[in-house]
Amino acid sequence: MSNIGLPEIAIVLVIVLVIFGPKRLPQLGKSLGSGMREFKDAVTGNSKDDEEHETLPPPSSAPAVTNATARAEDEKTSSPKTADAS
């Protein structure tokens, strides 16, 4: 078996550049790096989600205001609409 050297790596990189183009190479590199990072974390047992849960404060007990509840409150406070009798 032969070792992979600099000329072989250069040929592979040129082929990848021709196939995907220069605009998509950064996107491919980013997705490849994040995939490798996720794989490494899965193998070692580290989880980014576990660390985020530890640092986030507990949720407050105040009710969440959504668009639906905000519209309902606006309708309650606005003046009542009268029907046009004509």
The amino acid that residue 34 corresponds to is S
Query: Which secondary-structure segment (H or E) carries 17?
Result: helix 6-20
What's the pTM? Answer: 0.41
Place of tokens 């995939």: 35
Q: What is the pLDDT along the chain (86 residues), one digit of tens a residue?
A: 678 899 999 999 899 999 989 889 889 889 999 999 999 999 988 766 655 555 666 666 655 555 655 565 556 665 555 666 65
Query: Which secondary-structure segment (H or E) carries 38?
Result: helix 25-44
- Where along the chain do its domains lie? 24-55
